[in-house]
Amino acid sequence: MVHTSGIGSHTAPVSDPLQGYLEANKQRFVRELVELCAIPSEASDPTALDAAATWCRDRLASAGCSARILRVVDAPALVVGETGSGKRTLVGVQHYDVQPAVPLALWQTPPYEPAVRDGAVYARGVDDNKGHLLLRIQAIEAHRAVFGELPIRIRFLIEGEEESGSSNLGRLLALHPGLTDGDGALKEGGAIDAAGRPQLSLGGKGILYCHFRVRTMSRDAHSGGATHYPNAAWRLAHALASLMDERGRVRIAGFYDDVRRPTDAERRMVAEAPFEPQAMKEILGIERFAFGRGDEDVRYAAVFEPTCNVCGIESGYNGPGSKTVIPCEATAKVDFRLVPDQDPMKIATLLRAHLDRSGFDDVVFSAEEGEHPYRGAADSPLVRAVKAVAEQEFGKPAVLVPNSGGTSPMWVVCNARKMPNVTLGMGHPGAGAHAPNEHILLENYWRALRATTKLYSLFATQA
Ligand SMILES: [Zn+2]
């Protein structure tokens, strides 16, 4: 059942026409959000992905955009919407796919029956990224109604594969030259911190996601033979251990060669950003950070350093009781979060060379996902304009983040022109993106919608 109570928040001051417009349209805007979030557009459901793409195309069209759907085989559609005219073009890089909602038992209300309660909307994808993409479209309508025609060209690129690595986005964008032309990109998502400060992220880390496999024998053997039969679990453990030292330094030759040195300005951003090491430790029940890292070290490493992380290992017998066996096969999944200007394919080549050189030529891996990192300039009209509108609407100083720890496809869109990119969003620290009971607070939604509406004018002329 869909609940739709508790939508209102502010009372409209007569002097603020934008607020008046929002008050008059809040019910409809929330209804649209509920409708979009009811579509279960997970990677495993091509029909739902299609339905979400069609929904976005139709909504872009009803906001006055020329909207179309682009397709390549074996990939979710890319929705393109364009409107407005002016000297500048803003590219909205968004996605309509969502993370899987499982485990369903942990949801208070079903993930695809969006519930509006206590000034919040609960649904899978409402924060990441459907709420954000919708408010950016609604802001076009709000702008036309309140401030008049857009003084800027806006192009939406709404993909359906962001949560699984955007692997076909490059192919889709190549269908039409000029799709990535622009003066700045509005990145998906966006957040405010616990103190209510808008966080403006200027990029994201890249990723190389690998599946490792080693097979040492044709079948498992009796562990009495462990003096002489090769154990796949040991083999894989040794290979994984060779990738990194105890200080967290990756030992693959050449791994750090392309890591870009942060500028003084970028280091200052990190120094000024909120950082609460004690709270971080308490949340995870640890006394100290890994690899002997001190608090100050962690502050910078989290933004500027690449990682090598074991996501999971499987081998042999782990069930109840005992089974004395030498496993013949072991597998692992490993992700490397990359920083500018590391290249995932180059890192994969270096990884292969490392394994071969270290005597692990029997350890095979496949790169399942690769995305480039991207970090755009802070010193740009786009970032200045976003900072101004965010601070005005959220009433707190904005915090600039050189790049988030997560990954999004900004390199594919922005790198050729070194286009600046930034988030202007409303996710709060407890929003639960990728987790059960994902939700957004409507109060923040209206603030972000107001800020975005104003951005469309301000960016057109911002120096
Ligand atoms: Zn997302």
CA 428 – ligand 1 centroid, Å: 14
Residue 4 belongs to a domain: no
Q: Taking Cα atoms as reference points, which of 421, 373, 410, 411 lies closest to residue 206?
A: 373
In this structure, are 199 and 217 located in the same domain? no
In this structure, are 81 and 128 located in the same domain? yes
In this structure, are 337 and 440 located in the same domain? no
**339-377 per-residue burial string, b: 16 or more CB within 10 A, e: under 16:** bbbbbbebbbebbbebbeeeebeebebebebbbbbbbbb
CA 128 – ligand 1 centroid, Å: 5
Judged by DSSP in three states, 411 sits in: helix
| Cis peptide bond N-terminal to 103, omega within 30 | yes
In this structure, are 174 and 230 located in the same domain? no
In angstroms, the CA 223 to CA 323 distance is: 9
CA 134 – ligand 1 centroid, Å: 13
Centre a 10 Å sphere on the Cβ of residue 246 and count the other Cβ atoms it contains: 9
User: How many Cα atoms sit within 13 Å of 325 on the Cβ side?
Assistant: 17
Q: Which domain holds residue 310?
A: 206-259+305-371
In angstroms, the CA 127 to CA 138 distance is: 16
Q: In sequence order, what are the residues at sequence separation of 6 or more whose Cβ sits closer than 8 angstroms to the Cβ of residue 167?
A: 75, 161, 369
CA 322 – ligand 1 centroid, Å: 43
Which helix H or strand E contains 412, and what residues bound it?
Answer: helix 410-414
CA 200 – ligand 1 centroid, Å: 15
Q: Which residues have C-beta under 5 Å from ligand 1, the single-atom ion? A: 128-129, 188
CA 129 – ligand 1 centroid, Å: 5
Q: What is the pLDDT along the chain (463 residues), one digit of tens a residue?
A: 444 444 544 554 557 999 999 999 999 999 999 999 999 999 999 999 999 999 999 999 999 999 999 999 999 999 999 999 999 999 999 999 999 999 999 999 999 999 999 999 999 999 999 999 999 999 999 999 999 999 999 999 999 999 989 999 999 999 998 999 999 999 999 999 989 999 999 999 999 999 999 999 999 999 999 999 999 999 999 999 999 999 999 999 999 999 999 999 999 999 998 899 999 999 899 999 999 999 999 999 999 999 999 999 999 999 999 999 999 999 999 999 999 999 999 999 999 999 999 999 999 999 988 999 999 999 999 999 999 999 999 999 999 999 988 899 999 999 999 999 999 999 998 899 999 999 999 999 999 999 999 999 999 999 9
In this structure, are 67 and 54 located in the same domain? yes
CA 247 – ligand 1 centroid, Å: 31
In this structure, are 34 and 70 located in the same domain? yes
Query: Token pair 């939604």 is at which residue?
Result: 445
The answer to whether the CB of 259 falls within 8 A of the CB of 339 is yes
Residue 189 belongs to a domain: yes
CA 110 – ligand 1 centroid, Å: 20
Q: Taking Cα atoms as reference points, which of 296, 294, 290, 300 lies closest to residue 259?
A: 300
Residue 310 belongs to a domain: yes
Cα–Cα distances in angstroms (integers) from residue 109 to residues 123, 261, 330, 445, in the given order:
8, 46, 39, 21
Query: Token pair 């339905």 is at which residue?
Result: 51
CA 159 – ligand 1 centroid, Å: 10
CA 95 – ligand 1 centroid, Å: 7
CA 460 – ligand 1 centroid, Å: 26
CATH number at residue 406: 3.40.630.10
| Cis peptide bond N-terminal to 341, omega within 30 | yes
Query: Token pair 């949340």 is at which residue?
Result: 283
Cα–Cα distances in angstroms (integers) from residue 391 to residues 350, 379, 425, in the given order:
44, 17, 12
CA 161 – ligand 1 centroid, Å: 10
CA 436 – ligand 1 centroid, Å: 15
In this structure, are 76 and 185 located in the same domain? yes
Q: Look up residue 376 and give its two tokens.
A: 């755009």
Q: How many domains does the chain contain in total?
A: 2
Amino acid at 14: V
Q: Which of 340, 371, 402 is the last residue of a domain?
A: 371
User: How many Cα atoms sit within 13 Å of 82 on the Cβ side?
Assistant: 12
Residue 180 belongs to a domain: yes
Centre a 10 Å sphere on the Cβ of residue 66 and count the other Cβ atoms it contains: 11
CA 176 – ligand 1 centroid, Å: 24
Residue 293 belongs to a domain: no
CA 147 – ligand 1 centroid, Å: 30
Q: What angle do CA 189, 193, 196 make, to 5 degrees?
A: 110
In this structure, are 176 and 190 located in the same domain? yes
CA 348 – ligand 1 centroid, Å: 25
pLDDT tens figures, 24-50: 999 999 999 999 999 999 999 999 999
CA 119 – ligand 1 centroid, Å: 22
CA 163 – ligand 1 centroid, Å: 6
Residue 150 belongs to a domain: yes
In this structure, are 111 and 23 located in the same domain? yes
CATH number at residue 319: 3.30.70.360
CA 29 – ligand 1 centroid, Å: 21
In this structure, are 365 and 383 located in the same domain? no
Residue 345 belongs to a domain: yes
CA 321 – ligand 1 centroid, Å: 42
CA 320 – ligand 1 centroid, Å: 39
In this structure, are 236 and 364 located in the same domain? yes
Q: Which of 339, 371, 403 is the last residue of a domain?
A: 371
Rg (C-alpha) for the chain, rounded Å, is: 24
Q: Look up residue 233 and give its two tokens.
A: 């679990």
Q: Which of 349, 371, 393 is the last residue of a domain?
A: 371
Centre a 10 Å sphere on the Cβ of residue 200 and count the other Cβ atoms it contains: 23
In this structure, are 105 and 152 located in the same domain? yes
